[in-house]
A and B are shown apart, each in its own frame.
Chain A
Amino acid sequence: MSLKHGAVHGTWSGLEWRRWRELGFSLGLVALLAWLLNGMGFFEAERWMRGGVNLVRFAQEMFPPDVRVLPTIAGALLETLQMAFAGTLLGFLLSFPLGVLGSRTLFPAGVVAVVRLVVAALRTVPSLLWAVLMVILVGLGPLAGTLALAFYTVGYLAKLYAELFEAIDPEILEAMRGVGAKRRHLIRFVLWPESANAILSQLLFMLEYNVRASTLLGLVGAGGIGFYMQAYLGTMAYARLTTVLLAVLLLVIGMDALSAWIRRRYLLRP
């Protein structure tokens, strides 16, 4: 009996020790955050006061929005949307085969390692830097933006797809090998249909991301609405900038709604 009691007591003190350790860890994290913020001047009241006044002045200049620029920016907005769609689809077309090659399900470790390294390298470069590189490669304009988004998309989707394919039930693959399926059949009849829902879901996520990202690519001359953002910001035409921001907001909300509709239509209802 005493042994049992001792065992329970041991468990209890072990539990209590774990709770204290978790609490200590959480407090430590908060302290670290406070220290970092303090180093940046987060706790300086005077800075906040001064900034607040500037912000109010800035906001006053932003409103009311100057809607006369709408016809001018409409074309750029459409171009942004085109870049996002074309970049995402092009990226998807490259990501799928790279995802297959990067999955240990079908290919030997050597091939997988090389592909994963390439994909990781693509992922390391941010979309804005891709835009700069593509502007150098193909010149100013939406083609540069589209290619930049495509490369950025490949970096993410190829990795996600490779992981998806590796999670496929090995019994299905074995059963398919049992009926004499070649690698090409496994891609067409197992990898694709078994992952279709997740592939579509991630593709939509990437499209939403790329719509947001494509609004910035114009900053480096890669086409789209970003060009006007930079121009209005540079000339302190804040009322016009507000119109651009509101238009982008509408575009993003519209894309989110479209994406939600596609998810409901194709993912939730099997």
Chain B
Amino acid sequence: MENRNEGTPMTQAVPSLRRAVRLAREEIAVAVEDLWFAYREGKWILQGVHLQVPAGGFWTIMGPSGAGKTTLMRIMAGLLPFPKGRVFLLGHPLQGELEPALRRLIGYIPQQLGLVRGLTALENVLLGSLARHPGWRTALGFFPRAEIERAMALLEMLDLADKAEEKVFRLSGGERQRVAIARALMQDPQLILADEFVSDLDLPRAAQVLAFVHRLARERGLTVILNLHEIQLVQEFADHVVILKEGQVVFESPALDLSWGLFREIMEGKE
């Protein structure tokens, strides 16, 4: 299988850069063009996905299990090389490993949050600053004082200041979500990608967390892309919704246009 990520020929790289400049001018935060992906040869998980998420947008991706939502999210986070297609993040063509400067701008929250359970809430939040401080000092556990103060301020903002020294495995589900959000914010991102990160919470709590993320995104002008299951949450918070099925975008519209009935029809394959 050809892998465009590993050593893109110059002939392809130049048009990618031109396209990236145009996308940046048009204020497109994430552009996915004809994206294909397979874990095993011939078994396509994503089949020609197209997306254009404007800067400052609050988008959700929905779809049944196995539709390719998590795979798409991991690719957009620069964590999974893809064989075919083009992805532009914040005006940069995605090729191989993300540069630290770009990595810092993308906050990724996986489904199970990816927190280190044996570290405290404060330590987990501090990890969000690693792209700024990749040296040996931080590897030995010494973070700059300014970063520690910043992490504490974030925990305070998220109402977790009193839990800063608690190990993460002692925190409740809702508290862990907030630690994960704080870690992402610690990166000072322009784009937040979150993969069903509220799926373990009941609906009222999930709504609370999303309301917070929504407010924060509006205040800071962040672009947010979420994988979500609950249509109520999508209708309440998202600007735009994309439905993925068997690796293809089968529906895309402003979130308010997606009714229960339409959603059911799409999921049952009557579109």
Contact = CB atoms under 8 A, between A and B. Distances in A.
A180 B138 contact: no
Interface stretch (A136-144, A186-194, A246-254): A186-194
Interface residues of B, number: 37
B118 A180 contact: no
B146 interface: no
Interface string A2-27: 00000000000000000000000000
B116 A178 contact: no
B115 interface: yes
A181 B128 CA distance: 9
A172 B78 CA distance: 15
B106 A189 contact: no
B116 A179 contact: no
Interface stretch (B15-23, B129-137, B217-225): B129-137
A176 interface: yes
Contacts of A180: 100, 103-104, 130-131, 134, 187
A189 B118 CA distance: 9
Overall SS of chain B's interface? loop
Which of B103, B109, B127, B183 has the most A CB atoms < 10 Å from its CB?
B127
Nearest to A187: B139
Nearest to B128: A179
Given A171-B111, A179-B187, A185-B138, 9 more contacts: A175-B114, A178-B79, A179-B103, A181-B130, A182-B130, A184-B139, A189-B123, A193-B117, A270-B170
28 contacts: A169-B112, A171-B114, A172-B114, A172-B116, A174-B74, A174-B110, A175-B113, A175-B114, A175-B115, A176-B114, A176-B116, A176-B127, A178-B78, A178-B79, A178-B103, A178-B114, A179-B108, A180-B100, A180-B104, A180-B130, A184-B136, A184-B139, A185-B127, A185-B134, A185-B139, A187-B139, A189-B123, A270-B169
Interface of B: 74, 77-79, 100, 103-104, 106-119, 123, 127-128, 130-131, 134, 136, 138-141, 167, 169-170, 183, 187
